[in-house]
């Protein structure tokens, strides 16, 4: 039995320690907003926050987490940065197929939580780990800048 804290709630799951957090969320807790894209931390579709740090859930064995680790997923993300990012994504109609966007948004929220005036280079550095095969990158960049402006206002 593994105890973890997801979106502020303590959850117990009967899985082996080596099961990646991704599959714990999706298959055990039925929280499907976090996506499986590659399984090797190359695409970022599974990005969640662990104690505020963007983390690839597919490469995070659940046994490495403690009950004190605060896991935040797309279903539970909130606050000023989350609000600004999701609003900007909607305003600019960023999404196409949308499958990668939970991960994109989680990475963008983490970036803007730390840096409310990111340069293009900051955006590249923070977002290069998140692949979008529809290539919505133009709008992701614009939405991050839009959200940053909202947060600074």
Partner 1 sequence: MLHHLIRQAAEHGFPESGFAPGPLPAPARRGFLKAIGAGAGVLVIGAHLPMPALAAEAAPKIIGPADPRPHAFIIVAPDNTVTVLAKHLDKGQGIVTGLATIAAEELDADWSQVRGAFAPADQKLYANHFFGLQGTGGSTAVANSWDELRMAGAAARAMLVAAASARWKVPAGEVTVAKGVVRHAASNRSATFGELAEEASKLPVPQQVKLKDPKDYVLIGKPDLHRLDHVSKTNGTAIFSMDIRRPGQVTAVLARSPRFGGTVKSVDDAAARKVPGVIEVVSLPVGVAVIAKNTWAAIKGREALTVTWDDGKAETRGTDAMLADYRKAAEKPGSVAANKGDADKAIADAKAKGGDAVDGEFVFPYLAHAPMEPLNAVVALNPEGGCTIWAGSQFQTVEQMVVAQILGCKPEQVKIETQWAGGSFGRRATTNADYIAEAAMIAKAYPKAPVHLVWTREDDIKGGRYRPLFLHKITAAVDAKGELVGWKQRIVGQSFMAGTPFEAVMVKDGVDATMVEGASDMAYPVANLAVDAHTLASPVTTLWWRSVGHTHTAYAKEVMIDRLAKAAGKDPVAFRMAMLKDHPRLAGVLKLAAEKAGWGQPLPQGKGRGVAVHESFNTYVAHVADVTVDAKGQIKVDRVVVAVDCGEVVNPDIVKAQMEGGAGWGIGHALRGEITMTDGVVDQANFDGYLPLRMSDMPVVEVHIVPSHERPTGAGEPGVPTVAPAVANAVFSVTGQPLQTLPFSRGGIVS
8 A C-beta contact, residue 39 and residue 21: no
Cβ-Cβ contacts under 8 Å for 97 (sequence gap 6 or more): 133, 134
* 118 binding partner 1? (CB under 8 A): no
* 148 binding partner 1? (CB under 8 A): no
* 102 binding partner 1? (CB under 8 A): yes
Residue with tokens 């990111």: 118
8, 138, 149, 152: residue in contact with partner 1 (rule CB under 8 A): 138
Task: Kindly indicate which of the ranges 4-12, 32-40, 64-72, 111-119 contains the residues binding partner 1, using the contact rule CB under 8 A.
Answer: 32-40
Q: 32 — phi, psi (to 5°)?
A: -95, 5
Q: Least Å distance between CB 1 and partner 1?
A: 14
8 A C-beta contact, residue 48 and residue 59: no
| Size of the chain in residues | 153
* 80 binding partner 1? (CB under 8 A): no
- The span from the CA of 56 to the CA of 49, in Å, is 8
**What is the DSSP code (8-state) at residue 24?**
I
| Residue 63 or 68 with smaller CB distance to partner 1 | 63
* 130 binding partner 1? (CB under 8 A): yes
Task: Kindly indicate which of the ranges 4-12, 37-45, 63-71, 109-117 contains the residues binding partner 1, using the contact rule CB under 8 A.
Answer: 37-45
5, 7, 83, 96: residue in contact with partner 1 (rule CB under 8 A): 96
Which residues on adjacent β-strands are paired with residue 9? Answer: 6
- The span from the CA of 140 to the CA of 123, in Å, is 9
Q: Which chain residues interact with partner 1 by CB under 8 A?
A: 15-16, 19-20, 23, 26-28, 30, 32-40, 42-43, 45, 73-75, 86, 89-90, 93-102, 105, 123-124, 127-128, 130-141
């Amino acid at each position: 039995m593994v105890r973890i804290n997801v979106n502020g709630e303590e959850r117990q799951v009967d899985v082996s320690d080596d099961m990646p957090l991704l599959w714990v969320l999706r298959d055990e807790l039925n929280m499907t907003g976090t996506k499986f894209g590659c399984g090797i931390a190359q695409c970022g579709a599974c990005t969640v926050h662990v104690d505020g740090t963007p983390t690839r859930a597919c490469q995070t064995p659940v046994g490495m987490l403690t009950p004190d680790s605060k896991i935040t997923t797309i279903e539970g993300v909130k606050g000023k940065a989350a609000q600004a990012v999701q609003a900007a994504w909607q305003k600019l109609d960023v999404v196409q197929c949308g499958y990668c966007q939970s991960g994109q948004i989680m990475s963008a929220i983490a970036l803007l939580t730390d840096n409310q005036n990111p340069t293009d280079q900051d955006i590249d550095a923070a977002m290069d780990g998140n692949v979008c095969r529809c290539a919505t990158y133009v709008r992701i960049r614009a939405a991050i800048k839009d959200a940053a402006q909202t947060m600074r206002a």
